[in-house]
Amino acid sequence: MKDEFLQDVLAGLRLPQKALSPKYFYDAKGSKYFDQICELEEYYPYRTELSLLPEVARELKQYFKEKSVSSIQLVEFGAGSLHKVKPVLKELTMVTEFTAIDISGEHLQEASTELAASFPKLPIKVAQGDFTKPIKLEVSEATPMGFFPGSTIGNFDPEDAREFLENARTTLGEGSYMLLGVDTKKDQQMLEDAYDDSRNITARFNKNILTRINRELNADFELDQFEHVASYNQQLGRIEMHLRSLTAQQVQVSGETFQFEKGETIHTENSYKYHPEEFDQLATAAGWRRECLWLAPDGIFAVMLLAN
């Protein structure tokens, strides 16, 4: 894992547009920063999706009753602090098994202990792993349903999002479902504020990737020589986060030297925004069909049920 981290970082920093994968934000500290982001006034996706989920789960319960689905194997991808699954589990009583997958193992373990206290009868499995790699589920009689909230799907480029959805369809299998949260296109200022808050928590989250590289890969990034930048790329329909070098400087990572011009950036994250109909095309290309759509007021966030 550490070797893969090193190879990915070196390869990313050798690119003409230096880049790092957002999956490396999430060490234990990065996961804690993400929880703080979720508490921010500006970060509407978290609270908007969370407020939709009780109604979504109530309607899903009815939907599955009508389909005579009596037990569900729920699998959450990028489960984080497991906040979003709680309202789902509360209403959707036909969930008989729950598996949570996340790259941030220590954080997930803590979150699952808390979840188990709230749902003592539910079998809960935690799996530290990368959801872009093949995942093998335990064989079960229950109907499989993926859960992918947080608009994490937006962190993939559209082609990679299609590939993820296709792989998830294979993993979950015939007759499965996928419930996912998608952030929508909206006012540019609202989008940019969500990724560049006034308390600079997102800036700390972004820079934490450099702290992690320093600690784990023997590097010497000076954090105060980089600044957090978040802007909406209208043409590509995505928020881009970068770390911009404030000076011309050299950085060593595991013995390799990287030059930075003043103003040069490392691209650390994309967050694609989709009109629901745009997302439908992606889901259809991955072999899913959209069964239900729940839109937040003013259409600022969408939750969708896809069926295989």
Ligand X SMILES: C[S@@+](CC[C@H](N)C(=O)[O-])C[C@H]1O[C@@H](n2cnc3c(N)ncnc32)[C@H](O)[C@@H]1O
Q: Which residues bind ligand X (CB under 6 A)?
A: 23, 26, 31, 34, 46, 78-80, 83-84, 101-104, 130-132, 149-150, 152
Alpha helices per DSSP H over the chain: 2-14, 28-38, 44-66, 85-91, 105-118, 158-172, 188-194, 201-217, 276-285
Q: What percent of the chain is helix, strand and coil (3-state, nearest 5)?
A: 45, 25, 30
Q: Which long-range contacts (CB under 8 A, 24 or more apart) does 156-163 make?
A: 156/272, 157/270, 157/272, 158/272, 158/282, 160/132, 161/272, 161/282, 162/282, 162/285, 162/286, 163/286
- Measured from the CB atom, the residue of 181 and 245 that comes closer to ligand X is 181
- Measured from the CB atom, the residue of 251 and 300 that comes closer to ligand X is 300
Q: How is residue 26 annotated by DSSP?
A: -
- Measured from the CB atom, the residue of 132 and 140 that comes closer to ligand X is 132
Closest contact distance (angstroms) between CB of 191 and ligand X is: 15
- Measured from the CB atom, the residue of 26 and 260 that comes closer to ligand X is 26
Closest contact distance (angstroms) between CB of 35 and ligand X is: 8
Closest contact distance (angstroms) between CB of 120 and ligand X is: 22
Closest contact distance (angstroms) between CB of 188 and ligand X is: 21
Closest contact distance (angstroms) between CB of 205 and ligand X is: 10
Closest contact distance (angstroms) between CB of 178 and ligand X is: 14
- Measured from the CB atom, the residue of 245 and 268 that comes closer to ligand X is 268
The DSSP annotation for 196-222 comes to S-TT-HHHHHHHHHHHHHHHHHTB---
Q: Which residues pair with 124 in a beta bridge?
A: 98
- Measured from the CB atom, the residue of 9 and 101 that comes closer to ligand X is 101
